[in-house]
Amino acid sequence: MAPYVWQGPLKKTGVIDVFKQKLVTPSIGSDFSDLDLAEALNSPNADALFHDLAVTISERGVAVFRNQHLDNETHKQVVNRIAIASGRPAENDIMTNALYPLYGDDPKVITLIPERVAERYGYQSEPKKRQTCSHEWHSDMSFEENPSDYSSLRLGLVPETGGDTLYASAYDIYDRMSEPFQKFFENLEVQWGDPHYTEACGTEGTYKGPRGSPANVDFGFDAVHPAVRTNPVTGWNAIFAGGMHCRGFKGVTDEESNRLMTMIEEMITQNHDIQARIRWESPGDIAIWDNRAVKHIPTRDVVGKGKRKGYRVLSAGEKPFLAPSGTGRQVWRDGQKDGGLAGRYERAQTLETDAGTSSLEGLTVTNGNADGITAH
């Protein structure tokens, strides 16, 4: 694989400013009511438009686009254009769903039917006496060597009420930690995995090829990534730990790991101002989010309120890394006000992700972590 070269954060051109964008909350989320994604694919300024979409989604965490008219093919094209515009590694593509042969689905479009998901993974599809579901907060495919950079969900069937999707800002989780805690997490790595998914993919008839990246070929699904990662689109650091697919922190005791997991979970659940709740209003609504910058969770409350059916498309991004020049979003904003971060990202930084070791601003990066910043 060719080296992945990070040129520093991207800036918007401004072409997206003509569209109506409502901020879901001050921290996270944008809602577009008049941007037609299918038309954007064939627009004369499509390159600039998808560039701005990539930056907007990465800065805001998630964006929802109302009343779209996408089919599976145009859905894949939209996500692919956004990922390419963001600087995704050239060899990567839309992820292939290893389970698609079992259901006859499009290989690169995951059909999400609540009953199917509940049966496959053992979830409780009806509320009944369920008292917590906070453990279901997650980042998509975080157990892959190259997890998803941009994830998306398009609704085909929308219930009368319920079935909302919630998002939480991983930028804010990092920002709200004290500086000593930020440094502590920067020196940690996380073990990822999903036993249910691993077991499902091991059954006869599942797809056994690469999943959107030449790096995503192992079927153990037990990747190790830094607990803090730098978003290559924004240059902002985000917590990349905790949630459903997180098996624990490396190099600490099980008790310590569990406490750290609980800390992150509580930062999400006890700070509703870092969350955005996306209500699905009509078939065709689509949410696209930066999987590096948010965690999300479905709401399993549609029993007796109609059917919910969705289509998920994921792009395979870069191997997670922590850059020495990465910073918290709030620190960046403060620096912008003071003019203190000018020229911070002038020099290109190279990450040779195929070898697993990289040169980053003169430092060595192993498994996504930089000498002098994080532990190997």
SS (H, E, C) 322-346: CCCCCECHHHHHHHHHHCCCCCCCC
Give the closest residue to 100 by CA, choosing from 120, 84, 81.
Answer: 120
pLDDT at 303: 74
Over the chain, what is the mean pLDDT?
A: 88
Question: 293, 173, 150, 149: which is closest to 235 by C-alpha?
Answer: 293
171 Cβ neighbours under 8 A, 6+ residues apart: 61, 231, 236, 237, 238, 293, 328, 329
Task: Check residue 339 and give its pLDDT.
Answer: 52
| Residue 292 near residue 189, CB atoms below 8 Å | no
Give me the numbers of helices (H) and strands (E) for the chain, helices first please. 10, 20
Residues in the chain with pLDDT < 70? Answer: 1-2, 118, 120-129, 337-376
Q: d(Cα 80, Cα 58) in Å, to the nearest integer?
A: 15
Q: pTM for the full model? A: 0.89
Helix-strand-coil percent breakdown of the chain, rounded to 5? Answer: 25, 25, 50
pLDDT of residue 375: 28
Residue 30 main-chain phi, psi, to 5 deg: -130, 145
Angstrom distance (rounded) from CA 310 to CA 152: 10
Q: Which two tokens stand for residue 210?
A: 């690469």
What is the per-residue pLDDT for 301?
85
| The pLDDT value given to residue 56 | 98
**pLDDT for the residue numbered 366:** 39
Report the pLDDT value the prediction gives residue 115, as an integer from 0 to 100: 75
51 contacts 274 by C-beta, under 8 angstroms: no
d(CA 253, CA 10): 39
354: buried, middle or exposed (CB in 10 Å: 19+, 13-18, 0-12)?
middle
Tokens of 305: 């309120």
Cβ contact 334:207 at 8 Å: no
**Which pLDDT belongs to residue 127?**
59
Nearest to 179 by CA among 290, 327, 360, 351: 327
Contacts of 24 (CB under 8 A, 6+ apart): 30, 31, 62, 64, 276, 277, 278
215 neighbors 1 (Cβ within 8 angstroms): yes
d(CA 280, CA 329): 28
Residue with tokens 């070269």: 5
